[in-house]
Structure 1
Amino acid sequence: MATTLNYINGEWTESESGETHTNYNPADTTAAIGEVQSSTAADAQRAIAAADEAASEWAATPGPERGAVLRETGDLLAERKESLVETLVSEEGKTRAEAAGEVQRAIDIFHYYAGKAADIGGEIKESSARDTTLSVREEPVGVVAAITPWNYPIAIPAWKVAPALAAGNTVVLKPATVAGITGSKLVEALDDAGLPDGVLNFVTGSGSVVGGELSTDERVDAVSFTGSETVGDIVYQDAADDQKRVQLEMGGKNPTVVAEDADIDEAVEIVGAGAFGVTGQACTACSRAIVHESVYDEFVSGIVEYAESLDVGPGLTDPDMGPQVTQAELDGTLEYIDIAREEGAQLATGGSRLTGGDYDDGYFVEPTVFSDVDPEMRIAQEEVFGPVLSVIPVSGFEEALDVANGVEQGLSASIVTENLRKAHRFVDEAEAGVVKTNEKTTGLELHVPFGGMKASSSETYREQGDAGLDFYTITKTVYLNY
């Protein structure tokens, strides 16, 4: 069985620990797909040292030259797309269609920032003095640590690494262990595209050991993290000791409001896709449907039918929904289902682990809908990260807006309505970094900013689009008196 190595200073290397973690197919836990190294703090330190050593030369490399490496990376990912899809499905559990979409997203991100690399520079301003040129330059921050989650194991590393490299930074990438094999394939493409040694380094291992080293080492200038709120808070506190630049994107408890004037068939499709797509394992997944009482029964009937119609199975057979990624994630989902029952929510459909046949060896759970959910129940307040939807009745728009905003997180929110006034008010007053009208809460365009509000984010810098470069550059103002 192959072991995924670390990539440090242009070489694939073994960890000092000699220990590994075996990754299994979440649809068939009898099938081991490879091993990922359990690296040490010393491994992380070597990666940081390599990135630090390479920083000056890469920063001095012309933007178009950096962009050419990113474009070649995108081209190589495109050539390897089918193989990448197979790896992603086998390691993370997504359906084949979902994995193909994610790999394509990574391809598009590298091509997008390949073009942007030539535009990074600055601007000229008119000086108030004679014989003086006044300019503003954008320069790389330095060494960047990118700590990424398992649920989008190639897209999220891509949207951190690509803009960081485009801006002239060097990077140490630490993926989630359970998705380390997929992450390594992205690094292979960058290596094959001709990225100079030390510019990108890749170290697998635990967050407490490797991630902790990246967050605290004084040679690291910036940390970009995507993951849970609990871990994000630790990263933020660790990085604050020497005033690192920090970017955090964390969880969500994302609502879709279904107004009384909504097309209910459309609303069911929007909510269902947002709640059960990627097995509910997305930070932007729809977790709460907030439905006007006049259409509540019709909506509940429709969403139950939608959930029960979904084909659940191994991702490689391309069903509607695949397994959860690990036993721990499955257990967490089942625990929340039990909590919801205890709190008095009505189980409308689902609620059980799937068993029998192909299901016995995988982490499969039924698409689950709870109705008559009170907004203060834990099931309506805390992120589940599984295919569980809470349906909450409300008497009007004002109440719907209050319920939508009545959680600690604020990542993504949507409304289904044919009323233009309600749509505009929701856009204005929803406490979320991404707000949509008549669309599912999931799904992002790569050329516009992405990020959350409240506990979903550090509220410092956005990812993707032009804004995605802001985190990786620092402004220098130049007065040139000639």
Structure 2
Amino acid sequence: MNSNLTQLLQQLNSTLHLTSQQLMSIEIQELALLKHLPDSVSQSSYFIPVNIFVFVLLTLGLTYVFIYRKVSPDNDKPIKFEWATPDEAKPHWKGKRLYPTGVRASEDPSMIQCYCPATGQFLGKFKAFAPEDIDNAIRESQIAQKEWKKTTFSQRKKVLRTLNEYIANNQEGIARVACRDSGKTMIDASMGEILVTLEKLNWILKNGEKALKVSSRPGPANILMQYKKAEVRYEPLGVVGALVSWNYPFHNLMGPLLASIFTGNAIVIKCSENVYWSSRWFIGLAKMALKVCGHDENLVQLVCTWPEDADYFTSHESLSHLTFIGSKPVAHKVLEAASKSLTPVVVELGGKDSIIVCDDVMDVEAISSIILRGTFQSAGQNCIGIERVIAMPKVYDQLVQILSHRVQELRLGSDIDQLEDIDMGAIITDARFDAMEKLVEDAISKGACLLSGGKRYLHPNYPQGHYFQPTLLIDVTSDMDIAQNEVFGPILTMMKVDDVEEAIRVTNDTPYGLGSSIFSRSFKTADYIANNIESGNVAINDFATFYVCQLPFGGVKKSGYGKFGGEEGLQGLCVAKSVCYDRFSFINTQIPKPLDYPIANEKKAWKFVTALNKCGYHNSKWEKVKSLFQLARNAN
């Protein structure tokens, strides 16, 4: 390899941080070109034009990076730090096993009892927050936010980059913490906790500042007021709150936290008592990232209360905004409490998400894999998980045949201590097992056919764990309870429809409208379905990618209202301050003499103001011209 070319590539690597694999790819491409040269052409004569060509490419590339991409200066680079993984999340931890009866400690009702749902291992006891503890947390965040709101986007990005680097470099530890507290598998934690958090982080780093830049707006329509300019400025709300569910303890906490601190706010997060142990560690991680970057770690706070004390938090006068992720029954209580302080709330509730499969699809096996992942990831405890497979006759029979075998092959267990070939983990609690079994029994009594599962499962290795069999129900109809109520568990239900119109009708025939997937070879057909189903989010020929794409996320009907995520999510955490000012310093608003107080002549004032309205807004150009003369006649 020519030494000059190698030197250039090394310089490029040091500037753009190319990986060794990428450099090797470049070298291989150069060698491939050499093989196609005539034997009469020497290597030296070849490398002269190639070096010039490569030099031009590198110059253009570097120009793009430094001028257009605005490479961050050294003071924006992430800071490496240590945040030790707790012993309980380390492989082969020998924690005491118990047969848990819930998270409220029987000997001391003020204490939250934390344990692993997959193994029954005891994780510790922690005191629930009392009202005075909530006051202290909010007060500390208020103090920190007074300085934080003055930070630049560059300073906020540095904190996010610091977090991003830690998460990317410590995935196993983060996944183990999430798994130990939720019972999910390591793969599910990687996909549902880490991947989506890294995506949100990097999306904000790339697009967040643009979403919050001052937005210029059209001025007044009245031609006489064109000297005015108008804009919207996005400013922090102050201290915001979030009440997040337990099914994704890392991502559900980090999602609102990242958006809040990037927009200049402080945040107080109320986590579920089911995942208090892991939430403490995750909030500590965020605090450490703030601290090493030179900011007050009290900007982010965690509280955990019993339900009877939760109203104190949601009705707190010092919270400027709330994000609630949870169930419909709890949402009623949250909204009632928040109404006392008139706190705005974004409400993200459950779903009865459908996947519509048309008969024209080709790779049914591939779609079956998407169905399995969408249904059984995190043991079905996923608000945008697939709750209903709605398929047309031809593909329905094929899917039943494929899925009847694949569901039976799913393996239950825990891979927290060592990576094993496990497909599905535990359920967070066994409190809903009776209800889930009754939903299956009701469907069978009304004509559905149970092909797999349908009951709780006593795991031979983890008898203290909460496991439910992967379940496949076919021939489900809309009149069955399981077709109308969110399961939030590992139950795959299949419904047969005759055509597109029936698929739309069945999809819309629930109180929910959070997410949907549509599979068809015809984009026209898929687009028609997407435009006619009642859903806040739709993925065409894919599953749940609307969430990964950082689009505004939220549902319709009983799935909630408001949006978080994407540009709208960031802007929703800000005061949209409307500002109007003069375009030119020498032109400004003057009160015309006929309209100045006290009114000297009301008839003349009336003629003046009606002419003003005609001049500014009449459809007829001739009427506008005539109104100018009327304005002039009545101006004094």
Common fold by TM > 0.5: yes
Q: Which residue of 2 aligns with 1:349?
A: 452
String of CA shifts for 1:392-422, please: whole Å, max 9, x gaps.
1212211111001110111111122223332
Q: Is the 8 A contact 1:145 1:173 kept in 2?
A: yes
Encode CA deviations 1:163-182: one digit per residue, 9 max, x unaligned.
11111111111111111222
Structure 2 counterpart of 1:302, from 396, 402, 425: 402
CA contact (8 A) 1:77 1:189 kept: no
Asked if 1:238 is matched to 2:329, the reply is no
Distance 1:118 1:424 in 2: 32
- Cα distance in 2, alignment partners of residues 283 and 380 from structure 1: 15
Give the alignment of 1:74-153 within 5 angstroms.
74-101=164-191, 102-116=193-207, 118-119=209-210, 120-125=212-217, 134-153=230-249
SS of equivalent to 1:362: coil
1:226-261, CA deviations, whole angstroms, 9 ceiling, x for partnerless residues?
011111122122212332121011100011112222
The answer to whether the Cα contact below 8 Å between 1:141 and 1:221 also exists between their aligned partners in 2 is: yes
What residue number does 1:62 align with? Answer: 152
Identical counterparts, % of pairs: 27
Over 3 Å counting, the alpha-carbon distance change for 1:312 and 1:337 in structure 2 is same
Do the aligned partners of 2:459 and 2:465 also contact (CA within 8 Å) in 1? no
Report what 1:368 is aligned to.
471
Question: Does residue 384 in structure 1 map to residue 487 in structure 2?
Answer: yes
Deviates more, 1:37-46 or 1:111-120: 111-120
The correspondence for 1:220, drawn from 319, 325, 332, is 319
Is 1:180 aligned with 2:276? yes
Of 11, 17, 20, which aligns to 2:111?
A: 20
Query: Of the two, which has the highest radius of gyration?
Result: 2
1:319 aligns with 2:400: no
Q: Secondary structure at 2:298's aligned position in 1?
A: coil
Higher helix residue share: 2
CA offsets per residue over residues 299-337 of structure 1, 9 Å max, x none? Answer: 212221121121221142351111111121444433322
2:569 maps to: 468
| 8 A contact 2:208–2:570 mirrored in 1 | no
TM-score (norm 2): 0.69
Question: d(CA) in 1 for partners of 2:544 and 2:581?
Answer: 49
* Amino acid paired to 1:319: I
| TM-score normalised by the chain length of structure 1 | 0.90
Q: Match of 1:282, as an amino acid? A: N
Task: Name the stretch that deviates more: 193-202 or 390-399.
Answer: 193-202
**Aligned mates of 1:133, 1:416 — CA distance in 2:** 47
Post-superposition offset of 1:442: 7.3
Q: Which has the higher contact order (CA 8 A, sep 6+)?
A: 1
Q: Partners in 2 of 1:262 and 1:124 — Cα distance?
A: 46
Question: 1:55-88 CA distances to partner (integer Å, 9 max, x unpaired)?
Answer: 3322222222122222212223333322111111
Specify which structure has the higher proportion of strand.
1
**Residues in 2 aligned to 1:130 and 1:274: alpha-carbon distance in whole angstroms:** 54
Partner in structure 2 of residue 260 of structure 1: 359
Rounded Cα–Cα distance in structure 1 between residues aligned with 2:130 and 2:421: 37
How big is the alpha-carbon RMSD for the aligned residues of Structure 1 and Structure 2?
A: 2.4
CA distance in 2, matches of 1:166, 1:353: 43
SS in 1 for 2:548: coil
CA contact (8 A) 1:64 1:118 kept: no
Greater shift, 389-398 or 167-176, is seen at 389-398
Tell me the amino acid that sits aligned with residue 122 of structure 1.
Answer: V
Residue segments in structure 1 that go unaligned for 5+ positions in a row = 4-16
Contact 1:276 1:387 in 2 (8 A): yes
Query: Residue 390 and residue 126 in structure 1: after superposition, are their counterparts in 2 closer, same or farther (change >3 A)?
Result: closer
Q: Is the 8 A contact 1:74 1:108 kept in 2?
A: no
Q: Distance between the aligned counterparts of 2:241 and 2:459, measured in 1?
A: 43
